[in-house]
Every structure is written in structure tokens, then in C-alpha cells.
A and B are shown apart, each in its own frame.
Chain A
Amino acid sequence: MVYSNPVLFDKSVTIVEKFTVRQDCRKILIISAEPKEADAIQQLIDEINGQTEYELIEFNDETQLSHVNEILDQQKMGTQLYISAKWEDAVSIFAAAIEAGFSEGEIQTLISGKKKRYVYCLKCYHLQEAAAEETDIVCDHCQISLEIGPFFSRERKGYIGYPYNPAFATTN
């Protein structure tokens, strides 16, 4: 894994509300780990309408999901990948796809349920989850106050949390 490889985060360009078919591909690979999104996948298959080869792989448990690397490694150039999963599974499948050689432009991700947002502490590098609306957070590890910045670090897999002293904080 290269440290600068793309990772899935709440604002990733690959996250979509609805799958769309791209005309410039030879094959569509659909990986579904979320049975609740069956309608979205059926819509995609309807839209493909037999015009492009497609393969649907459904995972129902984590044991099956461990085979995802093998499946992704076998894909050829010209394949578009569609991921339908809950956040944690989507993050794993996405990472495996990047490792196999897919670029972000070749992936669409449909998240079932909530997306997660992570912040890392610039003092101790601890990574923790933060709610979408939070602008400040206290580091679980070193207890320092952090202001959540706009920059996402691919290496740390989280937004940068800038330490500050709340005693000197100004309120707007």
C-alpha cells in the first residue's frame, strides 16, 4: 500500500447517491455487501440493458468478503467497479480495489446508512471518529482540544485536528 493511495472518506469523489452507467467501459463489476440496496443494483442492471457485460458479486458475510482481493486482482483494463455496502465494508472494498489497480475514476460507491468522518490529532496522531456537524473535538488519547480543519490526510486517513488552548479561544 502506497501512503498516498486514495482512501474512502466522507467527501470522496467516488461516493454517489445513485449509480450511473459509463459508456466508455467494457465490463461492469458490481460488488454488493448490502442486501438492502437491491433496488439500486437492479436499477443499474436495467440501465445497462444488456449493452455492456456485467458481473454481480454479492457478499452476505465477512468470510465471503475476504475473497474480494482475489476477485479484484483478476479484473482487466476497461472494468468499472460499483460498490454497494455499509461504511466499514465499503472502506475495505474500496481499499482492496485501489490496491488491485483501480483508480478513483473507475469506481462508484453507494453507501448504505451513515458515512463516517475521522479526525486525527496533530499532537499524538490518534485517529478518532467525529460527528459530521462537529467543528471541535477533544482527543481521546491525549485529551487536547482540537479544531477540525478542512484538509483530509490520505496518510493518516482523517481530517487534521489542530491543537489549541480553549482558554484562549475566541468566540464569534
Chain B
Amino acid sequence: MKAFGKIEVYVGKIVQETKYIKRFHLYPVDRELLPAFTGGSHIATYVKNGAETIERNYSLVSHPTDRTQYAIAIRKDDHSRGGSVYWHDEIKVGDRLEISWPKNHFPLAFKAAKHHVFYAAGIGITPFMTMMEDLTAEGKSFELHYAARTKEDCAFYDYLMAKYPGKCHFYFSRTEIPKKMTPVTMAEHRIGSHVYFCGPASMVKEFREAAESYGYPSYAIHFELFAVADKGPKNPFVVKLTNSNKKVAVSEEETLLEALLKAGVQAPHSCKVGGCGSCEVQVMEGEVDHRDHFYKDGERGSKKVILTCCSRAKESEKELVLEL
């Protein structure tokens, strides 16, 4: 078994969880067991669509101790860049694809927390599925707050109700008596609580700000985003690479990382949403428009770095010079 690289798997089972969410079970092609992983882990999936390879990250939802298969849950998003639509419309049982080894950018604060509180919006439930399994195995205290439009749209509802009685709080916004998940509940969490958010950028921002206002220390606040936060218009710009002596133009429709990969530059990357820091590159000259949620505010000013998956040049007219 190689320690790095991609793993070939086949789709062994597809389950329609809700109207818009499907669960895909992936089994290894050339090995008995898949690599072990911890709660909150995700994999990158590489699906061939003709000449194009669609690369997307999805949280694992299968039990962390079950190494015979992985499961991922995908919500079909008609406004997406095509990944979820392809998975829903084209992927069939028996199809083969490649996946990465599991990576965890959203780990549990196992030792530090006395109580873990999860806030999920929609498909944001996925990383918490494995986290709750890990906490249950360790006998740790936790609770889940989970918002969906309706009970029918709420993935894993029956499973969660049966497996974690008394620990799950559901909020359905489009029912006869709508119930909204708000940050107010965070004011009541006991000392030693750590909070975890997963959902759209606006939800995560609202809950992070509320947690800070309630006096939660920064190390007790954890979050994962699906996409890069929208931080204003994207201007085209040019980067000059000192190691490869190349110039790469970045259009307004693409990220710096996409432009670099298209130009054949081996740029490091992982989460692609400005959350993990894997794509950090040193900046030799030029000003950066930081759009990540990885660095602390002070670090953005003091470090001469850029996360290529989301951040851009501050001014279109001035080149960014990168050590790459």
C-alpha cells in the first residue's frame, strides 16, 4: 500500500437520502482496506468527464472504523460549477474513479474540550457524522444543532434521531411552525465548550461573530466552509514566478490556483476554499487582497504570503511576484 498518491475505487452503492442529496459508497479496487481516518476528514474525488477531470472535496460520512468502504453525501446544486450535478446525473453503481487519501482540516479538539457543540446548515451535517461517531466511541459529551428546510430535506434525520437521542436539535424553516437556528443558543453552553460550524459562508460568519461576542476564546471556535467567501469583485491580474521565470495571467473568472495549474505550474493545494493553508506561496513583491479565512487578521499584515486558491492581487495594474 502506497502512503501517498491516489486510490482507485468503484461506486458500490448509491442511496437517495433526500430529494437533493445522494449518498455514494466507494469500495477499493485493488486492496482490501482503505486508509484509516478521523472524524471531520474529507477526501478529494477525481471523476473523468471526457478529457476533463472534475476534482471535488467531500467529507466522509461512513463510520471511521469501517475501512472496507468510504461513503460521501453530495447535495445536487444546480448553481454549482458542475461537480455535484455530474455526480447526481452521471455516476452509476460500478463506475470507477480515483480518490485522495483522507485529509482532516476540521479535527475535533479532543483534549481541550469538555463539551462539543455542532452547528450544521443543510449538507453541512456531513463532517459532523464522523465526529459524533468518534466522540461516542470515546464517551465524550456533545450536542448537535441542525437546520434544514423541512424534515424531508434533512439528510440522516432518522439515523440521527435513533442513534443520538436527546443530543440532536432540529430546526426546520419551511414547516407550519418554522423554527430558525440562531446563534443565541451559544450563550447557554457550559464552560469548556467548543463550537463547530459547517454550512454556507454567511451562516458560518454569523455564528463565528456571535461566538466571539459571547466571549468564546478563538481556540474554542472551529468551522469549515463549502466555498470561498464572496469578498467583492474579482479583477484580472498577472503574477510573475521567480523560480520558473514564468508570467501567468489570471482572469476574473478564475482563481490564481486555477490559472497556475492550467499553466502547468505544480502549485500546492488542498481545500480550495481558503481554509487549510496548503496553497500558501511567498510573495516577493506586490500587495495581496487576502480573501482567506485561514490567517488571523494580524498575520495578513505581517506575513508576505498569499493563498492561491482564493486571494488575489490588490491592484490589476501591478504584478504580484511569487516565489514559485
- Chain B nearest CB: distance from A171 CB in Å? 44
Contact among B111, B193, B212, B219 for A101, CB-based, below 8 A:
B193
Q: Which residue of A lies closest to B186 (CB)?
A: A77
Contact among B113, B187, B190, B214 for A75, CB-based, below 8 A:
B190
A51 within 8 A of B: no
* CB pair B187 A76 closer than 8 Å: yes
Which residue numbers of B lie inside 8 Å of A, CB to CB? 111-115, 186-193, 212, 214-217, 219-220
Q: Which B residues touch A100, using CB under 8 A?
A: 114, 191-192
Query: With A and B bound together, what is the CA distance between A77 and B214 in angstroms?
Result: 7
Q: Which of B115, B190, B215, B220 has the most CB of A within 10 A?
A: B215
Q: Which of A73, A78, A79 has the most CB of B within 10 A?
A: A78
Q: Which of A102-110, A126-134, A145-153 touches B?
A: A102-110
Contact among A72, A74, A77, A80 for B220, CB-based, below 8 A:
A77
Query: With A and B bound together, what is the CA distance between A4 and B110 in angstroms?
Result: 13
Q: Which B residues touch A26, using CB under 8 A?
A: 187, 214-215
* CB pair A101 B188 closer than 8 Å: no
Q: Which A residues touch B190, using CB under 8 A?
A: 73-77, 101
- Chain A nearest CB: distance from B181 CB in Å? 18
Could you list 11 further interchain pairs (A-B, Cβ under 8 angstroms) beyond the known A72-B191, A101-B114, A101-B190?
Answer: A2-B111, A25-B215, A76-B187, A76-B188, A77-B189, A77-B190, A77-B215, A78-B215, A80-B215, A100-B191, A103-B217
A24 within 8 A of B: yes
- Chain B nearest CB: distance from A99 CB in Å? 9
Query: With A and B bound together, what is the CA distance between A26 and B214 in angstroms?
Result: 6
Q: How many residues of A contact B (CB 8 A)?
A: 20
Q: Which A residues touch B113, using CB under 8 A?
A: 101
Q: Which B residues touch A80, using CB under 8 A?
A: 215
- Chain A nearest CB: distance from B197 CB in Å? 15
* CB pair A76 B191 closer than 8 Å: yes
Q: Which A residues touch B111, using CB under 8 A?
A: 2, 4
Mask, A76-94, CB within 8 Å of B = 1, is: 1111100000000000000
With A4-B111, A103-B112: A79-B192 Cβ-Cβ less than 8 Å: no
Query: With A and B bound together, what is the CA distance between A80 and B214 in angstroms?
Result: 12
Q: Which residue of A lies closest to B117 (CB)?
A: A77
Query: With A and B bound together, what is the CA distance between A168 and B214 in angstroms?
Result: 59
Q: List 27 A-B pairs, Cβ < 8 Å.
A: A2-B111, A24-B215, A26-B214, A72-B191, A73-B191, A74-B190, A75-B190, A75-B191, A76-B188, A76-B189, A77-B189, A77-B190, A77-B193, A77-B214, A77-B215, A77-B216, A78-B187, A79-B215, A100-B114, A101-B113, A101-B114, A101-B115, A101-B191, A101-B193, A103-B112, A103-B217, A106-B191
* CB pair A105 B217 closer than 8 Å: yes
Q: Which A residues touch B114, using CB under 8 A?
A: 100-101
* CB pair B215 A102 closer than 8 Å: no
- Chain A nearest CB: distance from B203 CB in Å? 19
* CB pair A102 B191 closer than 8 Å: yes
Query: With A and B bound together, what is the CA distance between A82 and B187 in angstroms?
Result: 21
Q: Which residue of A lies closest to B220 (CB)?
A: A77
- Chain B nearest CB: distance from A95 CB in Å? 14
Q: Which 9 pairs of residues, A with B, have the shortest CB-CB distance?
A: A101-B192, A78-B215, A101-B114, A101-B191, A75-B191, A25-B215, A78-B214, A26-B215, A77-B189
* CB pair B192 A102 closer than 8 Å: yes
Query: With A and B bound together, what is the CA distance between A2 and B188 in angstroms?
Result: 25
Query: With A and B bound together, what is the CA distance between A102 and B186 in angstroms?
Result: 16
Mask, A125-169, CB within 8 Å of B = 1, is: 000000000000000000000000000000000000000000000
Q: Which B residues touch A75, using CB under 8 A?
A: 190-191
- Chain B nearest CB: distance from A137 CB in Å? 32
- Chain B nearest CB: distance from A52 CB in Å? 10
Query: With A and B bound together, what is the CA distance between A103 and B219 in angstroms?
Result: 10
For window 27-65 of chain A, which residues contact chain B by CB distance below 8 Å? Answer: none
* CB pair B192 A78 closer than 8 Å: no
Query: With A and B bound together, what is the CA distance between A90 and B177 in angstroms?
Result: 51
Q: Which B residues touch A76, using CB under 8 A?
A: 187-191
